[in-house]
Amino acid sequence: MSGTTNISHSNHDDHHHKETFITKYIFSQDHKMIAKQYLILGVLFMGFIGVAMSLLFRLQLAWPEQSFAVFDIFLGDWAPEGVMDPNIYLALVTIHGTIMVFFVLTAGLSGTFSNLLIPLQIGARDMASGLLNMISFWLFFLSSMVMLASLFVEAGPAAAGWTIYPPLSALPQTQPGSGTGMTLWLISMAIFVASSLLGSLNYIVTVINLRTKGMSMFRLPLTIWAFFVTAIIGVISFPVLLSAALLLIMDRSFGTSFFLSDIFVQGEVLHYQGGSPVLFEHLFWFLGHPEVYIVLLPALGITSEIIATNSRKPIFGYRAMVASILAIAFLSTIVWGHHMFISGMNPFLGSVFTFTTLLIAIPSAVKAFNYITTLWKGNLQFNPGMLFSIGLVSTFITGGLTGIILGDSTLDINIHDTYFVVAHFHLVMGISALYGLFAGVYHWFPKLFGTMMNKNLGYIHFWVTAISAYGVFFPMHFIGMAGLPRRYYTNTAFPYFDDLANINVVITVFALLAGAAQLVFLYNFLHSMFFGKKAEQNPWRSNTMEWTAPVEHIHGNWPGEIPHVHRWAYDYSKPGQKEDFVLQTTPHSKGEVETEH
């Protein structure tokens, strides 16, 4: 290799053009810098806001209509004398959902790790198009700023729920949040979709075209498979959300009737004729359900990688894992109707969607069993990333199983839009994806910033979060089965749910505890970024290619020629090898047989 280094280095000189502060840190086209930008804006900043909002409305739910100084400070006129207004309660729920689903778990998660890992793990110098990648981030920035700006309009931000079903979202007469707040929400999401599409196209093209020599599709680490398939689902489904948003904008501002018909508000018959809100539900969930997997698959990919590395074992059933990712991706596009069993659509469709929905449980179960078998007879290294990965498998099982109940159209009748749903999706996509995100941050922090995060703070972060996540969401199943609908400002307006009040207090206490644990993470992150211990090149003794690149970030990733790949990513503890890991770039030694997988 050393012989070729000089030659290729001189070829590579054109990459080292002069960098100014602006091209290096702001309008950077380097995938590693863009990953950091997504991490800091999407995960830390937007995540902080999204979580803080949930704590505000949890306070209201535990101690309804009581005065809190913290409401007075942050909500001002929306909380007269510190008591939260019902409209602002709905706004907080809406923006919490929007920020967590789209900004943190879609853009933040994929943006950070697809950008960081795709070029580094497949052996590419950068993304296929650095420029598009940069534009993608700055569109995301713009979209975030528009969403945050909507928090400052007089009538408050969008408050129709993150699913923004019309007519509530279409008619400002029906709630204050459907005025300027909703306009900004729609603009923000339209920009977001553009950003997401540019990002996804880039990921797909990069994975297909820029793999280094020897990196066949079946030698790709599972992270890349997950990011690649996620990007494909995004390209298929996000445009449908964009069209729904555009049609809604037309209904709101230009008098069309795509989603509206026969409406009477505030003593006035409106002119809308012939549209249907159910059409919007179809369009929304055609994105909305694949979106669950857009959030979850990258987390599962990250977890596959981290569990294998820290078990010091190959991931069990690599091809089955790839097959289940593909199966989930395909099925995810034909299950959207299970959000609409009682929307008024034909009951026959309900049967069809029950069928496809329960089918998707099969590849999900296969993934869970493969994770568990990977742990079997391993030599588990409990680094913080590993703890979060095992935590993900645990919440994925707990949350996934209740999906069997919600996915059954019959059972959905009585728990639709109750807290049971809230408990289910928070565990299976919210908490699980967040665990995947945290796992990824702890694991690739050395690659991102060249320093290590403090492991003891990581342990505290995990255990407190793990306990409080179950403390928050487990009781919610029961208040849901007791019949309490979601998005209620308080459950004490009439006596029937009075006996749920103390459960709500328990949930809020755990939520506050979970919030506090995230401050430990935030502190650990910022402190380690500046003062953390310098990382070695391959701290976790991992097989994948990113650890062959130098710790210091350089443009083009490898100083010399890009290393070639000779084996799959999971030769951990292979018999006959001196170490318990073999880098993908290491050629087979004499007499060594390539692992069949």
d(CA 124, CA 139): 24
Nearer to other proteins, 39 or 168 (CB): 168
Nearer to other proteins, 25 or 382 (CB): 382
| Contact call for residue 538 and other proteins (CB under 8 A) | no
CB of 156 vs other proteins, minimal distance in Å = 11
Q: Among 52, 190, 501, 529, indicate the residue that binds other proteins (CB under 8 A).
A: 501
Q: Among 44, 142, 322, 365, indicate the residue that binds other proteins (CB under 8 A).
A: 365
User: 195 to 234, contacts with other proteins by CB under 8 A?
Assistant: none
CB of 1 vs other proteins, minimal distance in Å = 28
Q: Among 11, 410, 537, 589, indicate the residue that binds other proteins (CB under 8 A).
A: 410
What is the crossing angle of helices 455-481 and 384-406, to 10°?
Answer: 10
CB of 35 vs other proteins, minimal distance in Å = 21
# of chain residues touching other proteins (CB under 8 A): 140
Residue 366, burial from CB neighbour count under 10 angstroms (0-12, 13-18, 19+) = middle
d(CA 278, CA 301): 34
| Contact call for residue 489 and other proteins (CB under 8 A) | yes
d(CA 87, CA 174): 11
CB of 162 vs other proteins, minimal distance in Å = 10
User: 423 to 452, contacts with other proteins by CB under 8 A?
Assistant: 452
* Sole window of 50-58, 149-157, 369-377, 559-567 interacting with other proteins (rule: CB under 8 A): 369-377
Residue 241 has a CB neighbour count (10 Å cut-off) of 23
d(CA 146, CA 504): 33
User: 387 to 406, contacts with other proteins by CB under 8 A?
Assistant: 387, 390, 393-394, 397-398, 401-402, 404-405
| Contact call for residue 279 and other proteins (CB under 8 A) | no
What are the start-end ranges of the H helices in 158-271?
180-209, 222-254
* Sole window of 114-122, 150-158, 188-196, 489-497 interacting with other proteins (rule: CB under 8 A): 489-497
CB of 120 vs other proteins, minimal distance in Å = 20
User: 511 to 530, contacts with other proteins by CB under 8 A?
Assistant: 519-520, 523, 527
| Contact call for residue 134 and other proteins (CB under 8 A) | no
Q: Among 130, 214, 450, 539, indicate the residue that binds other proteins (CB under 8 A).
A: 539
| Contact call for residue 133 and other proteins (CB under 8 A) | no
User: 159 to 188, contacts with other proteins by CB under 8 A?
Assistant: 160-161, 165-168, 171, 174-175
Tokens representing 289?
Answer: 């359900």
CB of 12 vs other proteins, minimal distance in Å = 32
Which segments of 426-581 are extended strands (E)? none
The letter for the amino acid at 81 is: E
User: 295 to 324, contacts with other proteins by CB under 8 A?
Assistant: 311-314, 316-320
d(CA 530, CA 545): 26
Q: Among 477, 555, 566, 567, indicate the residue that binds other proteins (CB under 8 A).
A: 477
Tokens representing 157?
Answer: 């931000």
Paired sense of beta strands 268-269 and 264-265, if any: antiparallel
Nearer to other proteins, 9 or 455 (CB): 455
What are the residues facing 265 on neighbouring strands? 268
- Which residue, chain included where needed, has tokens 């849901």? 480
Q: Among 77, 495, 552, 590, indicate the residue that binds other proteins (CB under 8 A).
A: 495
d(CA 307, CA 322): 16
**Contact of 558 with 549, CB cutoff 8 Å:** yes
Nearer to other proteins, 140 or 420 (CB): 420
- Which residue, chain included where needed, has tokens 């857009």? 294
- Which residue, chain included where needed, has tokens 């665990």? 435
| Contact call for residue 544 and other proteins (CB under 8 A) | no
Q: What is the DSSP secondary structure assignment for residue 588, as one 8-state letter? A: P
- Which residue, chain included where needed, has tokens 């009781």? 475
d(CA 62, CA 503): 8
**Contact of 195 with 131, CB cutoff 8 Å:** no
| Contact call for residue 408 and other proteins (CB under 8 A) | yes
Q: Among 52, 250, 467, 512, indicate the residue that binds other proteins (CB under 8 A).
A: 467
User: If DSSP codes are grouped into helix, strand and coil, which group holds residue 346?
Assistant: coil
Tokens representing 427?
Answer: 């565990």
| Contact call for residue 591 and other proteins (CB under 8 A) | no
Binding mask 74-103 for other proteins (x = CB under 8 A): ------------xx--x-------------
Q: Among 127, 386, 565, 569, indicate the residue that binds other proteins (CB under 8 A).
A: 386
User: 552 to 581, contacts with other proteins by CB under 8 A?
Assistant: 570, 572-575, 580
* Sole window of 12-20, 125-133, 158-166, 293-301 interacting with other proteins (rule: CB under 8 A): 158-166
Q: Among 27, 45, 63, 470, indicate the residue that binds other proteins (CB under 8 A).
A: 470
Per-residue HEC secondary structure of 277-316 comes to: HHHHHHHHHHHHHHHHHHHHHHHHHHHHHHHHHHHCCCCC
CB of 224 vs other proteins, minimal distance in Å = 18
Nearer to other proteins, 142 or 365 (CB): 365
User: 325 to 354, contacts with other proteins by CB under 8 A?
Assistant: 342-344, 347, 350-351, 354
Residue 16 has a CB neighbour count (10 Å cut-off) of 11
| Contact call for residue 482 and other proteins (CB under 8 A) | yes
Residue 376, burial from CB neighbour count under 10 angstroms (0-12, 13-18, 19+) = exposed
The letter for the amino acid at 178 is: S
| Contact call for residue 592 and other proteins (CB under 8 A) | no
Q: What is the DSSP secondary structure assignment for residue 410, as one 8-state letter? A: H
- Which residue, chain included where needed, has tokens 């308080």? 490
Q: CA 329: distance to chain centroid?
A: 15
- Which residue, chain included where needed, has tokens 């509530």? 168
Phi, psi of 269 (to 5 degrees): -85, 125
Nearer to other proteins, 167 or 563 (CB): 167
